[in-house]
Amino acid sequence: MSTTLDFADPALYENPVPVFNAMREENPVHWSDAAGSWIISRHADVVSVLNNLEEAHASLYKINDYAQQCPFGKGTAIARGIEGALVTTDLPDHPRLRRHTAPLLTPRAVERDYADIVEKTVISLLDDLEADTEFDVLDSISVPLPLAVVTKLIGYEPEDALQLNHWAIDLTRSLEPHLESIDLELSDAAAQNLEDHLRDALRTFGPTAEPGTVLYKLHRGLEEGTLLSEQEAVIRLEELVSAGTETTTTIIPAAFEAMTQFPHVWEELKADPELIPGAAEEFLRFASPSPFTARVAISDIVLGDQAIKAGESIQLAILAANRDPRVFTDPDVLDIHRSPNPHITFGGGIHACLGQHLARLEMRTLLKHAVSRWDSFEVATDRVVRRDRIGVWGYSAFPMTVRDRVG
């Protein structure tokens, strides 16, 4: 098996795990011409890069000439979003930008302010399902759930929330590590539409937004000068819509797919719902919804036996690191009793995913109600369709049938 990523190989998109595993064991630090970057795949190396700000940082498109690093061109909506995103912003600007959303997304704040809306949304979505009747998990659960929560967090009710999801999916195509697989026109059009919509929402609802919402925080930030421009505020909203929906949209069907491989897990969760928090963490590790995250070296460094020069791009293979046998016993086994479980699905360091606690809450709540209602489920595996991407992977179809519990 090849120990480098062949982005033209359909097998990589159908099941990337064997390729990532082989790469991590045989070629853990290597240069990829196709990605235009180094690929780092062992857990210890990935964690080192995530946490060491003196060796690598997230400003992938700022460290060198931007026009050379970014394929989208200055002035495009994607370029504006990437340049101002938290994940590509470093010190000293990062804390200033993060303060407008981070306090709303701490574990305590998420539990206090969003447990009720998540619970009610999950109950409503599951009430609408009919036992023994096939439904698509994406349409029925994993898309509407995070959308309902994120729009509540932002502080407004869009007329067509699903359109936000469509724009977010098309926008995240720009995160593919293989530039030739990016549809630039599609991604930039989605980014422009999302930017225009959210700017209008900020202007329309910001002045009267309820305290405790993101719109309120951003409007105050503009008034007080802690946000330097309306564009900075709009990008905060773009991040919430895209990053705040993608993980849950992918991890819910991925969990059910994993349980078709390890059916005893469903039976264990039905018998003991106290296992759900650990199960949610294991699903996040096992599926790794975002297989890559990017950095760029800001000094000459050595990883493994490879010398990486300042200014060279780095792709951190989260999926491979989350299956590293040096850290995880039997890494290709879904083990909901795994403890500790130091997966890095949400990244690390100052750029760790802001919405991780919300994603965890959504996953735990969905599992709690699913195991209490359903006796069994059946995935139509022959009709499951994965998106043809690897940067932020997911599904475009996930048909499933459930059978309710009796009594």
Average pLDDT, the chain: 88
Residue among 258, 260, 264 at smallest CA distance from 282: 258
Cβ neighbours of 83 (radius 10 Å): 17
Pick the CATH number of 10-404 from 3.40.640.10, 1.10.3720.10, 3.40.50.1820, 1.10.630.10: 1.10.630.10
Residue type, 270: K
Mean pLDDT of 216-229: 88
Q: How confident is the model at residue 63 (pLDDT cuts 50, 70, 90)?
A: very low
Mean pLDDT of 71-82: 75
Asked if residue 350 has pLDDT above 90, the reply is no
Asked if residue 262 has pLDDT above 50, the reply is yes
Q: How confident is the model at residue 67 (pLDDT cuts 50, 70, 90)?
A: very low
Mean pLDDT of 72-84: 77
> Which residue has tokens 């010398």?
307
What pLDDT was estimated at residue 170? 84
Distance between first and last Cα of the chain: 50
Structure-model confidence comparison of residues 87 and 71, the more confident one: 87
The one-character DSSP state at 86 is G
What pLDDT was estimated at residue 60? 43
Residue type, 321: A
Give the three-class secondary structure for 102.
helix
Contact criterion met (CB below 8 Å) for 199 and 234: yes
Say what percent of the chain tops pLDDT 90.
57
Asked if residue 270 has pLDDT above 50, the reply is yes
Calculate helix-pair angle for 230-261, 214-224, nearest 10 degrees: 150
* Joined tokens for residue 275: 């296992």
Contact criterion met (CB below 8 Å) for 18 and 2: no
Distance CA 32, CA 297 (A): 15
Distance CA 191, CA 229 (A): 18
Residue among 341, 243, 226 at smallest CA distance from 289: 243
Tell me the pLDDT tens digit for each residue of 271-300: 999 999 999 999 999 999 989 888 888 878
Mean pLDDT of 384-400: 88
Mean pLDDT of 107-111: 95
The one-character DSSP state at 87 is G
Structure-model confidence comparison of residues 399 and 303, the more confident one: 399
Say what percent of the chain tops pLDDT 70.
92
The one-character DSSP state at 266 is H
Contact criterion met (CB below 8 Å) for 283 and 275: no
Mean pLDDT of 253-267: 97
What pLDDT was estimated at residue 393? 83
Q: How confident is the model at residue 311 (pLDDT cuts 50, 70, 90)?
A: confident
Residue among 351, 296, 288, 294 at smallest CA distance from 323: 288
What pLDDT was estimated at residue 328? 98
Asked if residue 117 has pLDDT above 60, the reply is yes
Cβ neighbours of 71 (radius 10 Å): 16
Q: What residues form DSSP beta bridges with 29?
A: 40
Q: How confident is the model at residue 65 (pLDDT cuts 50, 70, 90)?
A: very low
Strands (E), 95-219: 135-136
* Joined tokens for residue 141: 């659960």
> Which residue has tokens 């719109």?
215
Structure-model confidence comparison of residues 326 and 405, the more confident one: 326
Q: How confident is the model at residue 64 (pLDDT cuts 50, 70, 90)?
A: very low
Asked if residue 23 has pLDDT above 90, the reply is yes
What's the chain's Rg over C-alpha atoms? 21
What pLDDT was estimated at residue 161? 87
Cβ neighbours of 200 (radius 10 Å): 11
Mean pLDDT of 46-66: 62
Distance CA 323, CA 347 (A): 15
Residue type, 166: H
What pLDDT was estimated at residue 99? 84
What pLDDT was estimated at residue 56? 63
Mean pLDDT of 177-193: 77
